[in-house]
Amino acid sequence: MHADITPLIVGLLIFVSSLCSLWLGLSVAIIEITLGVLAGNMGLEAEEWMLYMATFGGILLTYLAGTEIDIQLMREKFKESFMIGAFSFFLPFMAIFLFTYHVASWDTDAALIAGIALSTTSLAVVYAVLVETGLNRTELGKILMSATFITDIGTALALSIVFLRPTIYTVLFILISILVILGAVQFSHRVFENPRLKNKVIEPEIKYIFLLLLVFIYFANLGEGHAVLPAFLLGLFMSRHFSETSQTKELRNRLRTVAYAVITPLFFIVGGMKISIPMIYSAFGLAAILFLLKMLTKFFGVYFLARRYIPRGDIYTTLLMSTGLTFGTISSVFGLNAGYIDQIQYSVLVGVVVASAVIPTFIAQKWFMPVHSEDIVDINNDSGR
Q: Give yes or no for residue 207 having a pLDDT over 60.
A: yes
Q: In the prediction, which pLDDT does 3 show? A: 63
Helices (H), 71-138: 71-76, 78-98, 108-117, 123-133
Q: Answer whether residue 375 shows pLDDT above 50.
A: no
- For the cut 70, the answer to whether the pLDDT of residue 243 exceeds it is no
pLDDT in tens, 69-116: 767 777 777 888 899 999 999 999 999 999 999 999 999 999 999 999
Set out the domains of the chain in order of their start, with CATH numbers.
6-367 (1.20.1530.20)
- Above 70 in pLDDT, residue 244? no
Query: How many whole angstroms separate alpha carbon 96 and alpha carbon 171?
Result: 31
> Which of 28-32, 318-322, 354-358 is modeled with the greatest confidence?
318-322
Percent of the chain past pLDDT 70, that is, above it, reads 90
Give start and end residues of each alpha helix (H) in 118-245: 123-133, 139-163, 168-192, 204-222, 228-238
**DSSP string of 228-297?**
HHHHHHHHHHHGGGGTSSHHHHHHHHHHHHHIIIIIHHHHHHHHHHT--HHHHHHTHHHHHHHHHHHHHH
Q: Which of 102-111, 338-347, 367-376 has the lowest mean pLDDT?
A: 367-376
Q: What is the pLDDT of residues 283-307, one digit of tens each?
A: 899 999 999 999 999 999 999 999 8
- Rounded mean pLDDT of 142-161? 83
Mean pLDDT of all residues belonging to the chain: 83
Angle between the N-to-C axes of helices 6-24 and 28-41, in degrees from 0 to 180, rounded to the nearest 10: 140
pLDDT at 16 over 90: yes
Q: What is the pLDDT of residue 379?
A: 40
65 pLDDT above the threshold of 80: no
CB 68 within 8 A of CB 126: no
More confident position, 92 or 191:
92
Cα separation, 135 vs 327, in Å, equals 23
Residue 374 has pLDDT above 60, yes or no: no
